[in-house]
Amino acid sequence: MSFATRLNQLRLRKGQSLQDVADAIGVSKTHIWELEKGRSDNPSLEMLTKLANHFGVTIRSLVGEDPESSEDEKLAMMFRQAGELGPNDRAVLEDMIRSMVARNQKRGAEN
Tens digits of residue pLDDT in 73-99: 677 778 878 888 999 999 999 999 999
Domain chopping of the chain, boundaries? 3-62, 70-110
Highest CATH level, class, for 3-62: mainly alpha
Dihedral angle at the C-alpha atoms of 68, 36, 81, 25, nearest 10 degrees?
110
The rounded distance, in Å, linking the Cα atoms of 16 and 79 is 18
The rounded distance, in Å, linking the Cα atoms of 93 and 38 is 39
Tens digits of residue pLDDT in 49-61: 999 999 988 888 8
Tens digits of residue pLDDT in 6-32: 999 999 999 999 999 999 999 999 999
More confident residue, 24 or 3: 24
- Residue 43 carries which side chain, given as an amino acid letter? P
Q: Name the nearest CA neighbour of 57 among 83, 36, 75, 30.
A: 75
Q: Give the model's pLDDT for residue 71.
A: 61
The rounded distance, in Å, linking the Cα atoms of 106 and 102 is 6
Which phi and psi angles does 53 have, rounded to 5°? -65, -40
Average pLDDT of the chain is 87
